[in-house]
Structure 1
Amino acid sequence: MSSIKHPVGSEPSSVYWRRRAIVIGVLVLVVIIVVLIVAKPGSGSDATPASAPTTSDPAVSRTATPKPAPTAAATSKATDAPTASASNATCDADAITLKPVADQASYTSLEQPQISMSITNTSTSACSLDLGSAEQVLSITSGAETYWSSKDCQVNGTHQKITVKAGQTLTTPAIAWDRTRSSSSTCNSSRASVPAGGASYHLSVAVGSIKSATSALMILN
């Protein structure tokens, strides 16, 4: 009967023992490889977990962001505004150009002309000019007849010295002409309407002794 200790065969027993030793060695090597794979560093539960990605708080980010600084657009408008003055020399008449301004050239029967004037300093230096209501005059004529004047019913006219910069143009606030004939005797009573139906009228302006060289045409329908 064969046994492990006493192999049976035609070859010498030393050959069988060598074969057995090789098989056992291979088995031991396989076991070692399996153990190494199972015990590989970092594969266990003690491995340090990867840190979670961090995100910034959007509310904090929005709070920390400074608001944009205001633009300088408003400053430039304020710079161009007229300023009261008592130090600049009085404007020469030939340095000031007055222009009558009407908001339209033709008006329907329901429209009232909006009239004003522009004042331009054509000199190369700033000067002062009295632009108070006591010095401003707006007149509306047709042919040789004056139909309306801002002076007819003016009360408590004011005086105000204004600095006009070199090359600067100022425009007075517009007033509405109610299409009536003015007179100092009708300030507190009703006034007659001026002729319309395509009648033409001319607006002229003055500041003190300075007068506009041209007039603005207005056609009333």
Structure 2
Amino acid sequence: MTETVTRRRHSPAVYRRRRLVVLLGLLAVIALVVWLVVAPPWRGSAADSPAPVASPTPTGDPVATDLPALESDGSAATPTPGPSGDRAASDAEAAETADDVAVTSSAEPCVPGDLLVEAVTDKTEYAAGENPQLSIRLTNNGDACTLNVGTTGQVFTVMSGNDTWWKSTDCQAEPSDLMVLLEEGQVVTSAAPITWDRTRSSVETCGATERQAAPAGGASYHLYVSIGGMNSTNTAQFLLQ
């Protein structure tokens, strides 16, 4: 005689608990997949950090606009204000331009054969009590090139015959360097001329209140200039009355 086994049915509460466990497990799997996609554990801190941005740095040399004006101790020569009447403002503007107009250049240093260096005076004859104003003019007849046009490399010399009467480097104050790019065919001149006070200069008399006056009465003088080690191809002759 076979005995029939009757299976016991679970209560509805048991089925509800099982379905809840399955649902929670499914939600956990979905959450894990989302986490792996959105925030993969293999990403290190380097990937989370933004890439560094290189700050722009000026390269090359500023394009030449004019030549810096010489500074002196006030006895050998005095800088002459430009058209604005304010030489200091002119120099500051030139320096700002040099900072703002930085260019990338592979130009070679200038050589004497490419540059025309000229001595320039504002007049050829000066009346009694009138002081000569001296400048440099540069013309680049070659390819674009670089040159130190700072006051360290500028030399003004006034001579009468073989007698040197005045030299800008005798009493120069605070010389500085300034590397610039001279474009092909470019012409630049002194930002502001300097005024020779018609006296003899020397390193021993820079602070003197009285120095030997240059002869006048039609006496002839010649201005020689050099810049960056390159001498002027001419002299500027003038007369003192």
2:208 maps to 189
1:107 maps to 126
| Partner amino acid, structure 1, of 2:149 | L
TM-score, length-scaled by structure 2: 0.56
Aligned in 2, Cα 1:86/1:131: closer, same or farther, shift over 3 Å? farther
Q: 2:172 and 2:103 mapped to 1: Cα distance?
A: 25
Instruction: Check conservation: 1:132, 1:158, Cα contact below 8 A.
Output: yes
Q: Match of 1:93, SS? A: coil
| Partner amino acid, structure 2, of 1:96 | L
Measured after TM superposition, the shift of residue 89 of structure 1 is 1.7
Does residue 81 (structure 1) correspond to residue 81 (structure 2)? The answer is no
Q: 2:229 and 2:104 mapped to 1: Cα distance?
A: 20
Measured after TM superposition, the shift of residue 80 of structure 1 is 7.8
Q: Match of 1:202, SS? A: strand
Superposed, 1:24-173 pairs within 5 Å as 81=65, 83=98, 87=105, 88-123=107-142, 125-172=143-190, 173=192
Q: 2:200 and 2:64 mapped to 1: Cα distance?
A: 36
| Partner amino acid, structure 2, of 1:219 | L
Instruction: Check conservation: 2:64, 2:180, Cα contact below 8 A.
Output: no
Does residue 218 (structure 1) correspond to residue 238 (structure 2)? The answer is yes
Instruction: Check conservation: 1:85, 1:128, Cα contact below 8 A.
Output: no
Q: 2:204 and 2:224 mapped to 1: Cα distance?
A: 22
Instruction: Check conservation: 2:147, 2:228, Cα contact below 8 A.
Output: no
Measured after TM superposition, the shift of residue 208 of structure 1 is 2.8
Instruction: Check conservation: 1:96, 1:121, Cα contact below 8 A.
Output: yes
CA distances 1:22-59 after superposition (whole Å, capped 9, x unpaired): xxxxxxxxxxxxxxxxxxxxxxxxxxxxxxxxxxxxxx
Flag the structure with larger Rg.
1
Q: 1:203 and 1:129 mapped to 2: Cα distance?
A: 22
Q: Match of 1:185, SS? A: helix
Measured after TM superposition, the shift of residue 213 of structure 1 is 1.6
Instruction: Check conservation: 1:137, 1:205, Cα contact below 8 A.
Output: yes
Measured after TM superposition, the shift of residue 177 of structure 1 is 0.7
Aligned in 2, Cα 1:86/1:138: closer, same or farther, shift over 3 Å? farther
Q: Match of 2:113, SS? A: helix
Q: 2:219 and 2:228 mapped to 1: Cα distance?
A: 29
Instruction: Check conservation: 1:86, 1:161, Cα contact below 8 A.
Output: no
Measured after TM superposition, the shift of residue 156 of structure 1 is 2.3
Shift >6 Å, 4+ stretches: none
CA distances 1:173-216 after superposition (whole Å, capped 9, x unpaired): 21111111110000011222111111000001001321012100
Measured after TM superposition, the shift of residue 155 of structure 1 is 2.4
| Partner amino acid, structure 1, of 2:110 | C
Q: 1:146 and 1:220 mapped to 2: Cα distance?
A: 15
**Unpaired runs of 5+ in structure 2?**
1-62, 67-97
CA distances 1:64-83 after superposition (whole Å, capped 9, x unpaired): xxxxxxxxxxxxxxx98355
Q: 2:141 and 2:168 mapped to 1: Cα distance?
A: 26
2:40 maps to none
CA distances 1:86-141 after superposition (whole Å, capped 9, x unpaired): 84321112111100000000010021111101011011x21111000000001000
**Unpaired runs of 5+ in structure 1?**
1-78
